[in-house]
Structure 1
Amino acid sequence: MTDLPTTVDWSTNGAVTPVKQQGQCGCCWAFSAVGAVEGITQIKTGELVSLSEQQLLDCSTENHGCDGGDIDEAFEYIRQSNGITSEANYPYQGSEGDCQASANADNSAAQITGYEDVPANSEEALLQAVSQQPVSVAVDATNFQFYSGGVLSDNCGTDLNHGVLVVGYGTAEDGTSYWLVKNSWGEDWGEKGYLRILRDSGAEGGLCGIAMQASYPTI
């Protein structure tokens, strides 16, 4: 394995759109998947385009809209649909609706060839993946509402109930290793919408289960 950089931050490398706000709709899965596609698209093409979560909400029928969904199913929908349109073309409403004509492949702003699952319960494999692109993960976010900054190191469970985007990793000034995570609860939450989670915690699936169910799109 090649030596990986000690720090990666795709948000400062121009591959991450501004933090979004999902509101009361339980569609974190769509925000996580879209963020990963935005990231790899920018890395490969040099263009950062905000893509449409609403298209996934309305048109990805294998998922359950505001009642939850599967990130890999979202990637599969984007692959089968020959792409996903832009946020500007199909803006977020915060609730489910009918699939609009703006979802037609003619309006595609980004396409993927598929997705890869990161080997489960391996923070090393997750590190390798994140060194290449932003990666979608599922976490136990039960404690997140109380988070206001710093490296989250409290013991949280592994009830994977929230989808987020790992956009980097690094080491805090005190030597604590962390994952840099983009959430979809607006910029007023956490560290301007971001969260740092303890890396290499010793927990099998990573702290909050961060390494249990990670995946990323391919283009």
Structure 2
Amino acid sequence: AAVAALESAVCLSGKPLTPLSEQQVVDCDEASYACDGGFPGDALTFIKQSGGVCTEEAYPYVSGDSGYHETCKSSCTREAVTIRKVVAVPVSDAGLVQAINVQPVAVGVAADNPTWKQYKSGIVSSCSTTQLDHAVLAVGYSPSYFKIKNSWGTQWGEEGYMRLKRGAGTRSSGTCGIIGPLSVYPQL
């Protein structure tokens, strides 16, 4: 989700949309625990400190369900990206809306539950847990829901997307924990 938020920021800055390497972050960023519970803010900080990230073409994604991790590659075709700041989104419905108005936002959600695993379509209004265990990209909203893009492929949900009801869930965390402390985006 952090790399997707960065791709969005680069595109919104007027540069061509270039797929960037999630695998580099998984392999090289030891601080964020990669796909084992990593945090989007840590991943963006890693990219900021590294001065950029490899392109997807130069460093393709191979992890996924396999759990396979490669050794960190020291060189690749690097997309030079200057992240000036990793912006933490205020923990509120209004804060998330304001951030999405700037660009797509990496958010933490509670996805280890049947609601997520069996999702096909519609607006989700509750989850059986609020334990944040997955990061997704919040890409839009309406008065009644937030729209998120998941990394599980286009066969999942609404062609890779899900709608989470606004104003539902616990007052402080929203449906499936979407309004939480892990919401960040890069400022270029």
| TM-score, scaled to structure 1 | 0.77
* Aligned-partner SS, 1:165: strand
Aligned to 2:7: 38
* Aligned-partner SS, 1:99: coil
1:200 to 167, 170, 175: 167
Q: Report runs of 4+ in structure 1 exceeding 4 Å deviation.
A: none
Name the amino acid aligned to 1:81.
S
d(CA) in 2 for partners of 1:212, 1:165: 13
* Aligned-partner SS, 2:167: coil
Q: Note the C-alpha offset of 1:206.
A: 1.0
d(CA) in 2 for partners of 1:134, 1:216: 7
Q: Does the alignment pair 1:71 with 2:2? A: no
Q: Which runs of 5+ in 1 are unaligned?
A: 1-31, 172-176
Name the amino acid aligned to 1:167.
V
Name the amino acid aligned to 2:178.
I
| RMSD across aligned positions (CA) | 1.6
Q: Note the C-alpha offset of 1:64.
A: 2.1
Aligned to 1:21: none
1:183 to 150, 154, 158: 150
Contact residue 116 and residue 216 of structure 1 kept, 8 A = yes
d(CA) in 1 for partners of 2:28, 2:89: 26
1:55 to 1, 7, 24: 24
Q: Does the alignment pair 1:99 with 2:69? A: no
d(CA) in 2 for partners of 1:187, 1:130: 22
Q: Note the C-alpha offset of 1:70.
A: 1.4
d(CA) in 1 for partners of 2:168, 2:141: 14
Contact residue 126 and residue 168 of structure 2 kept, 8 A = no
Name the amino acid aligned to 2:172.
E
Q: List per-residue Cα deviations over 1:157-190 (Å, max 9, x = no partner).
A: 321011100011125xxxxx11110001111000
Name the amino acid aligned to 1:148.
K
d(CA) in 2 for partners of 1:75, 1:201: 29
Q: Note the C-alpha offset of 1:56.
A: 0.2
- Correspondence 1:120-199 to 2 at 5 A: 120=91, 122-141=92-111, 142=113, 143-171=115-143, 177-199=144-166
Name the amino acid aligned to 1:134.
P
Identical pairs, percent: 41
Between the two proteins, the alignment pairs up a number of residues equal to 180
Contact residue 110 and residue 127 of structure 2 kept, 8 A = no
* Aligned-partner SS, 1:126: helix
Name the amino acid aligned to 2:87.
E
Q: Note the C-alpha offset of 1:62.
A: 0.9
Q: Note the C-alpha offset of 1:109.
A: 4.7
Q: Does the alignment pair 1:209 with 2:177? A: yes
| TM-score, scaled to structure 2 | 0.90
d(CA) in 2 for partners of 1:151, 1:191: 10
* Aligned-partner SS, 2:102: coil
